[in-house]
Amino acid sequence: MSGLSDALTGRHALITGGARGIGLACARALQQRGATLTLLGRNQTALDEAVAALGSQATVRAVVADIADEAAVRAAFEQATRDAGAVDILVNNAGQAVSQRFDRTDAALWQSMLAVNLTGTFHCTQAALPGMLAAGWGRIINVASTAGLIGYAYTSAYCAAKHGVMGLTRALALEVARRGITVNAVCPGFTETNIVREAVSNIVSKTGRTAEAARDELAARNPQGRLVQPEEVAQAVAWLALPASASINGQAIAVDGGEVMPG
């Protein structure tokens, strides 16, 4: 039986938004299990720093693309495939959250939230899936959010996009269930990332509360009274990528301290 350090040896994992936060934590967790990595993001400098932090340029590469741009995604995946072979594990992690009251949410904000959080997941999945089908093996893991499972006030566009990711996850999981491919979602609660730091700044600017009070407000949603750490999300992602997780398909795994529980 393969050990933790080599369970994914020979597998190529591509992580979107892989330069920082949850994406970088996922990259590290998959690397620890033997996977070869491609980090995809928009900022070359941040990607280069992430590759250096992971410490092995022989097995870690980076490609630049905006996941909302279909042509750019296709080109990035072609490059990644030339460098490291077909993508076996796709972690759709890249995302963005903007808070706004619904009556102040204009069409531009609505479209931007859909483009990054939902359409980007669609583009990357379409680019990776043919190689998985040809190989008869694959793992597609969508980093969604508890906002894809319940509603949050003042984030209607983001919630709608993440609910869309959940619908895509479940539908595609059924389509490929007999092809050796699984499709699942990991749904973090409020996590110690740039998105949460931006949310704290937004609360401070709009309410005049201190940053500490704003962080406490977000952490209070978690029954454990704390923010989730990126590494905790990454462990769930890495588990779903394992060959031994082949029966887990079409699921939404909440990493939130118990905030969201199925009825």
Q: Which CATH class is domain 4-189+229-254?
A: alpha beta
Q: What is the largest CA-CA distance in the chain?
A: 56
How would residue 58 be classed by pLDDT, with cut points 50, 70 and 90? low
pLDDT at 77 over 60: yes
Query: Does residue 112 contact residue 101 with C-beta atoms inside 8 Å?
Result: no
**Delimiting residues of CATH 3.40.50.720 domain(s) in the chain:** 4-189+229-254
Within a 10 A sphere around the Cβ of 4, how many other Cβ atoms? 11
| Residue 211: predicted pLDDT | 80
Amino acid at 262: P
Give 118-150 pLDDT, tens digit per residue: 999 999 999 999 999 999 999 999 999 999 999
pLDDT at 4 over 70: no
154: annotated active-site residue: no
Give 187-236 pLDDT, tens digit per residue: 999 998 777 777 777 777 777 888 888 888 888 899 999 999 999 999 99
Amino acid at 169: T
- Residues 44, 47: Cα–Cα separation, whole Å: 5
Its pTM stands at: 0.93
Which of 77, 122, 137, 158 is catalytic? The answer is 158
Q: What does each C-alpha distance from 71 to 16, 26, 63, 85, 153 come to in angstroms? A: 16, 25, 14, 20, 34
Take residue 97 and report the two structure tokens written for it: 């959250």
Mean pLDDT across the chain: 93
